Amino acid sequence: MAKQLVVITGAGSGLGRALAIELCGQDLLVAGLGRRADALRETAALAGDSFTPVVADVSDAAQVRAAFDNIRTIAPVSILINNAGVYPHRDMLDETPESFMQTVAINLGGTVACTSEALKDMCEAGRGRILNVSSFADMHPLPCSAAYSVSKGAVTTFSRALVADLGDRLPKIVISTWMPGMLNTEMGLAEGLDPAVAAKWGAGLALWEDPSLNGAVFEMDREILPSRGLKGRLKDAVRLKSRKPRLIPT
C-alpha cells in the first residue's frame, strides 16, 4: 500500500516542525511548506528522508498552486494540516490596514489557498483529512493581538463552512479544528507546552479519519463538545445519557 502524503504548512519551525518530525517518524511522506529555505533544511535534517521541503509563501495563491503542483509529483495529497501562522504583537494604534490584512492573508488566506489545492486531490479520491490549527484568541483577545485574533477566529469559521459545503456530498473528507494550546515556540510562551508533546496529539488527530469527526473541535488532546440548549439537556437527563468528549489516540 502506498504511503500517505501529508502537507504541513509552517513547517520551518515550532509546531509545524514538530508535526513533520512526528509524522515522518510514523513512516508517512511529509511535504513541508515554509517561507525560509534554511529553516526548512533544518526541519529536513531532523525529520529524515521522508520530508520534502517546499519553499512557498502561503499568503500568495500563485506560490501555493505551484507548490502543490510540485508536491503532486511525489503523490496525491491525503492529509493537510493548515498550521502556518504569524502573531505580530501590535496595538491597533500601531496597525495599518495593510499590516492587519497581511496577517489575515497568512493566517486565513493561506488556509483557504492550501485547502483549495488539497481538495483537488481529495475530491478525486473521495476521501482525505483536513486539520485546521486555530485558537481561542477570537473569544478572548489579548492586548496587541487584534489581527491574530480576528484571523484565527475566521479559521474556525472556515472549518464550519467547509463542513457545510462538503459534509453531505463528501463525508469521507474529514475536516476538524484543533487548538493546541500555548506552546513554547517563537509565537508562544517560554512556560508553554513543548511542541513535541502537542505534535503527538496533532498527528494522532490528523491520522484519525472517522467521518464523525467532521466539524469536531479539539483543544490540546480532547474534544470540545458543542453547547447544548435547555431542551437538549433535558432530553439527556431523561435518557440518563450524556455525550463525553473524545480523547485523541496517540
Q: Given this model, what pLDDT does residue 64 score?
A: 98
pLDDT averaged per 10 residues, the chain (length 250)? 90 97 97 98 98 98 98 97 96 96 98 98 98 91 94 96 96 97 77 91 98 96 81 58 87
148 is catalytic: yes
Cβ neighbours, 10 Å, residue 72: 15
Q: Given this model, what pLDDT does residue 220 score?
A: 95
Q: Given this model, what pLDDT does residue 239 score?
A: 62
- Dmax over CA atoms of the chain, in Å, equals 60
| pLDDT, averaged across the chain | 93
Q: Given this model, what pLDDT does residue 49 score?
A: 96
Task: Round to whole Å and give the CA distance between 182 and 188.
Answer: 6
Beta-strand relationship, 222-224 and 217-219:
antiparallel
Coil, strand, or helix at residue 229? Answer: coil
Task: Round to whole Å and give the CA distance between 181 and 235.
Answer: 33
Task: Round to whole Å and give the CA distance between 89 and 164.
Answer: 33
Q: Given this model, what pLDDT does residue 84 score?
A: 97
Q: What is the pLDDT of residues 132-182, one digit of tens each?
A: 999 988 888 989 999 999 999 999 999 999 999 999 999 999 999 999 988
Cβ neighbours, 10 Å, residue 70: 14
Cell numbers found for residue 171: 463525508
Q: Given this model, what pLDDT does residue 240 score?
A: 57
Can you state the percent helix, strand and coil of the chain, rounding each to 5? 45, 20, 40
Cell numbers found for residue 144: 496587541
Task: Round to whole Å and give the CA distance between 171 and 7.
Answer: 20
- The strand ranges marked E within the chain are 5-9, 29-34, 51-55, 79-82, 128-133, 173-179, 217-219, 222-224
Q: Given this model, what pLDDT does residue 184 score?
A: 80
Q: Indicate the pTM of the whole model.
A: 0.93
Q: Which of 148, 158, 201, 218 is catalytic?
A: 148
End-to-end CA distance of the chain: give it in Å, rounded. 22
Q: Given this model, what pLDDT does residue 2 score?
A: 73
